[in-house]
Amino acid sequence: MSLNPLTGPNAEQLDALVHDENMLEKPRGLWAGAWRRLLRRKGGVVGLSMIGFIFFVAIFAPLIAPYDPVLDDFIGDGDSRRRDPPCVHILGCDEENTQHIMGLDGNARDEFSRIVFGSRWSLSIGFFTVALAFSIGSFLGAVSGYWGGHLDNWIMRFMDVILGFPALLLAIAIGATLGPGFRNTMIAIAIVSIPIYARVMRASVL
């Protein structure tokens, strides 16, 4: 649309200008743009759906799990109940047997119930390890990028040493050194993830 520089825009041209301005896309924030890009990717939608499903199972675990995940299910001869195969009545399992859709483990505990309640541990470990690795890695990366010099060189070389080992093997070695337990396992996983956040933060500071 061309405007006359001498007479200025007429009424129709003004209406067209207002319409064009309304058609302009409003600026989006950082999170809104990231969310929009995520929904455009099929892989992102699938991953988001899986995470949402795990959250749903973890929240409603007491309602979904048919048995207590810790208590055993010894009936009669206890040893005969160990590692029972799956028993689903609608698939032909004897109605007299207790239904266990995934069977029993070596301690006669329902496998399905343990998997359902295990989703809570999986989410807890994931959040703790990411939070710990992000906090330490971001701090080291910010210090390294801001101060530079020998301190930057020492921190980044140490991060390179950690990255030089396979993450899984290094986490197993650290976990074996710290000892068994969920807390030590989470610390071991967090340590091998620190260089990722440190390098990203350093690049942002530079």
Domain assignment present for 82: no
* Amino acid, single-letter form, for residue 80: S
Domain assignment present for 193: yes
Domain assignment present for 136: yes
Q: What is the pTM of this model?
A: 0.68
Write down the pLDDT at residue 117.
93
Domain assignment present for 22: no
Show the tokens assigned to 197. Answer: 């956040």
Domain residue limits at 159: 117-205
Domain assignment present for 195: yes
Domain assignment present for 201: yes
* Amino acid, single-letter form, for residue 172: I
Q: Phi-psi region for residue 175, left (φ > 0), alpha (ψ -120 to 50) or beta? A: alpha
Q: How many domains does the chain have?
A: 1
Show Cβ contacts of residue 118 under 8 Å, excluding neighbours closer than 6 positions.
69
If 0-12 CB within 10 Å is exposed, 13-18 middle and 19+ buried, where does residue 158 land? middle
Which residues share a beta bridge with 17? none
Question: Are the CB atoms for 65 and 77 separated by under 8 Å?
Answer: no
Using alpha carbons, list the distances in angstroms from residue 8 to 4, 16, 105, 174.
5, 14, 84, 75
Domain assignment present for 135: yes
Write down the pLDDT at residue 21.
45
* Amino acid, single-letter form, for residue 58: A
Domain assignment present for 177: yes
Full pLDDT tens readout for the chain, 206 residues: 454 454 555 555 555 555 544 444 555 666 777 788 888 888 888 988 999 999 999 999 999 998 888 876 655 444 556 667 787 877 777 777 778 888 888 777 888 999 999 999 899 989 999 999 999 999 999 999 999 889 999 999 999 999 999 999 999 999 999 998 888 999 999 999 999 999 999 998 98
